[in-house]
Chain A
Amino acid sequence: MDENTRTRIGNVLLEVLEKQAFLFVDPGEDPDLASVDVYLAASVGFAGAAAGRVSLAVPSAMAAELASNFLGCEPDDPAAAAQAADACKEILNIVCGHILTELYGPTPVFDLGDLEAGPLAATEAADWSAAEGGMAFSVEGSPVLLRVDIPGGVPPGPQPCGPQACGPQA
Chain B
Amino acid sequence: MAYNILVVDDSETMRAVIAKSIGHAGVPLGSLFQAANGAEGIEVLHREWVDLVLADINMPVLSGVEMVARMKADPALVDIPVIIVSTEGSATRLQALMDQGVKGFLRKPFTPEELKKAVETVLGAHHG
Contacts and interface: CB of A to CB of B under 8 A. Distances in A.
Interface of A: 16, 19-20, 67, 70-72, 83, 86-87, 89-90, 93-94, 96-98, 100-101, 106-112, 114
Given A89-B11, A112-B58, A100 B89 contact: yes
B60 A70 contact: no
A98 B89 contact: yes
Interface of B: 11-14, 16-17, 20, 58, 60, 86-93, 107-109, 111
What DSSP secondary structure best describes chain A's contact surface? helix
Nearest to B94: A106
B13 A70 contact: yes
A67 B90 contact: no
B92 A94 contact: no
A106 B87 contact: no
Contacts of A114: 60
A87 B90 contact: no
- Which of B17, B86, B92, B109 counts the most A-chain CB atoms under 10 A from its CB? B109
